[in-house]
Amino acid sequence: MPVTIRANQNETVDALCWRYYGRTAGVTEAVLQANPGLADHGPILPHGLPVNMPEAQTSAPQRQMVNLWD
């Protein structure tokens, strides 16, 4: 179930994600997608702006490793 939190003064979306999830990888995009128009506020969010925080995946997406030495 998504949770709504409020932005602190001078907080960015990345900082908000770090504060709530403890990471930014894979969750910043999900927060922007869950909050249409959030990016329209610019890099610094207005103080007290409510932001929906969707449930995060348990881990960041895995990338395929490429071996260049074969």
Question: Residue 70 — pLDDT band, cuts 50, 70, 90?
Answer: low
Is it the case that residue 2 has pLDDT exceeding 90? Answer: no
- Would the CA dihedral through 31, 3, 17, 37 be positive or negative? positive
Per-residue b or e along 14-29, where b marks 16 or more CB atoms closer than 10 Å to that residue's CB: eebbeeebeebeebbe
- Residue-wise pLDDT for 10-30, tens only, equals 999 999 999 999 999 989 999
Which residues partner with 5 through β-bridges? 51
- Residue-wise pLDDT for 41-66, tens only, equals 999 999 999 999 998 765 555 567 78
pLDDT at 43: 95
For the chain, the domains span 3-53
